[in-house]
A = this chain, B = another copy of it.
Amino acid sequence: MKRDTKMKEKGRLIVISGPSGAGKSSVVFRAIEGRADMCFSTSVTTRAQRPGEVDGREYFFIDLDRFHEMVANDELLEHAMYVGNAYGTPRKFVEDKLAEGMNVLLDIEIQGARQVMEKVPEALKIFIIPPSLEELRNRLVKRGTDSAEAIEGRLKRAREEYQEAVFYDYIIVNDDLDVAAEEFNAILTADRCRYPFRRHWLEEV
């Protein structure tokens, strides 16, 4: 009998992965431009706060004891070490946003994504790829921030990541940014039409 269209729907947790250089951020930023229902998750980290960073904006800055406590209490949807510092996605932050009706974006590499999928199997999982690995190489070369060796490393890593794509619901090929962003939004719209999210419209019967 829940047919009140103004009923606040819970937001969706959206896991976004894909090789470095695929243009994930560009696609997502283009797609969510002007949308008030989307936000990124804010991670916790044990690394030192840098000048200009605001606690709770770039990261929630915590110490290692608190980090271990969060892991022990299952307060993190995923966590990982990176260059000697610990990072994680706080479950409560995400759940609060979802409860407010916000869609929460997690731009996350595949190890972290796997942990999230285990804890939130119903998450919407989108994998963003370049049109080809050759094109990925071109983009990395053009970007000019990586050595030739680092680029080969990224390509090797991309090949490994591709093996995980099967665990994602959707694949977006970032060939044309506008098309990719349009696909991203179409996926969100279509997702809302899936049976589980619409069944309450049928329940008066």
Q: Write out the residue numbers on chain B whose beta carbons fall within 8 Å of the beta carbon of A168.
A: 195
> Interface on A for B, CB 8 Å cutoff?
3, 5, 129, 131-133, 159, 162-163, 165-166, 168-173, 175, 182-183, 185-187, 189-195, 198-199, 201-202, 204-205
Per assembly, the copies of the chain total 2
Tell me if B162 and A202 are in contact (CB < 8 A): yes
Q: Which residues of B contact A169 (CB under 8 A)?
A: 194-195
- Provide the residues of chain B in CB contact with A192, threshold 8 Å: 183
Contact A170 B183 (CB under 8 A): no
The reply to whether B204 and A132 form a contact with Cβ atoms under 8 Å apart is: yes
How far is the CB of A27 from the nearest CB of chain B, in Å? 12
Q: Is the beta-carbon distance between B186 and A199 smaller than 8 angstroms?
A: no
User: Looking across the interface, which residue of chain B has its beta carbon closest to that of A184?
Assistant: B193
In the complex, what distance in Å separates the CA atom of A176 from the CA atom of B55?
43
Residue of B nearest to A192 (CB): B183
7 further A-B contacts with Cβ under 8 Å, apart from A159-B205, A166-B199, A187-B193, are: A133-B205, A162-B202, A173-B198, A183-B190, A183-B192, A183-B193, A187-B190
In the complex, the answer to whether A170 meets B189 with C-beta atoms within 8 Å is: no
- Inter-chain contact B183/A189, CB cutoff 8 Å: yes
Cα of A187 to Cα of B192 in the assembled complex, Å:
10
Residue numbers in B under 8 Å from A162 (CB-CB) = 202, 205
Contact in complex: A204, B133 (CB < 8 Å): yes
Are A193 and B172 also in contact (CB < 8 A) when A3-B132, A132-B3, A186-B186 are?
yes
